[in-house]
Amino acid sequence: MLKKIIIATRESPLAMWQAEFIKKLIIEMHPSTEIIIEGFKTQGDILLNESLAKIGGKGLFIKELEHALLERKADLAVHSMKDLPMDIPEEFKLIAISKREDARDAFISNEYDSLKDMPKGAIVGTSSLRRQSQIKSKYPHLVIEPLRGNLQTRLKKLDEGQYGGIILAAAGLIRLNLKKRIRQFISPSESIPAVGQGALGIEILSDNKILTDLLRPLNDEDTARCVLAERTVSRSLAGSCTVPLGAFASINNDTFSIKGFVAKPDGSEIIYAEKNGSKSDFYKLGEALSETLIAKGAKEILSN
């Protein structure tokens, strides 16, 4: 049994909440183990004047945390699964995915109750190409403006009147007790979430057998099935934040459903597909969804 475990995390309030959440779960299983949280400032937190698509993608949120693992400054890193690149270097492994919070996108506004209530020319804040393409496809009369920064920074920009509304992940707002700010939970049928949205992942060094055994019980099997299937879709389509795509899986009893889309950033062309089957076939269903999207022209859209 380990006497001490150091958790690496980003320094934002939401990331710290997520690390504290995992800390509590570990303490419940191993109350005699000392858990320490170390915050790190990542390049994704520093470079706020450009969209992620232009400066290197979501990997900018995790490199410093992985360096901390390699340098033995931390034993594990806690990530939002939507920030974790599809291909993990062989030195690391994803040991657990905790139970998912609400995966939907959320509309926040001080003026309007929903996206459909916004008038022509109203400004919506988001830096996600996934969200941008789906909004432009359904609400071409709205203006999309970039929005970077941590959750509190984004809300502040809204409150200062820079935007008529903004789109954030519902999970982060719920976790920070800001659910009351949500004016509309956007259905996955209207805005398919990001791959892994709402789920937390625990990353460790591949050769750390002690933590492998210690942390495996934190893995929520159904959440892991959903997130891993979603990641299969994104990996097959070379997905990152430079590509407008989304995938969302859910489980109802034994039935596994996964839907996904690929689009042009301006929403002028968008391809949807959905697959259903047994949850034991989650990988195959993710692969089948990828193949259907490709057959419908996904590769051609993504290559433009």
Catalytic amino acids? 83
Q: What is the torsional sign of CA 67, 70, 76, 81?
A: positive
Would you state the structure tokens that stand for residue 74, as one six-digit string? 């931390």
DSSP structure string for 157-194: HHHTTS-SEEEEEHHHHHHTT-GGGEEEEEPTTTSPPP
* Residue 218 in tokens: 């934190």
Sign of CA pseudo-dihedral 96, 88, 228, 191: positive
Distance, in Å, from the CA atom of 72 to the CA atom of 6, rounded to the nearest integer, reads 9
Q: Return the structure tokens found at 50.
A: 């450009």
Residues with Cβ within 8 Å of residue 161, at least 6 apart in sequence: none
In this structure, are residues 144 and 135 in contact, taking their beta carbons and an 8 Å threshold? yes
Residue type, 173: L
What SS3 class is residue 259? strand
Are the C-beta atoms of residues 217 and 29 closer than 8 Å to each other? yes
DSSP annotation of 106 reads E
Q: Determine the Cα–Cα distance for residues 248 and 103; give it in Å rounded to an integer.
A: 8
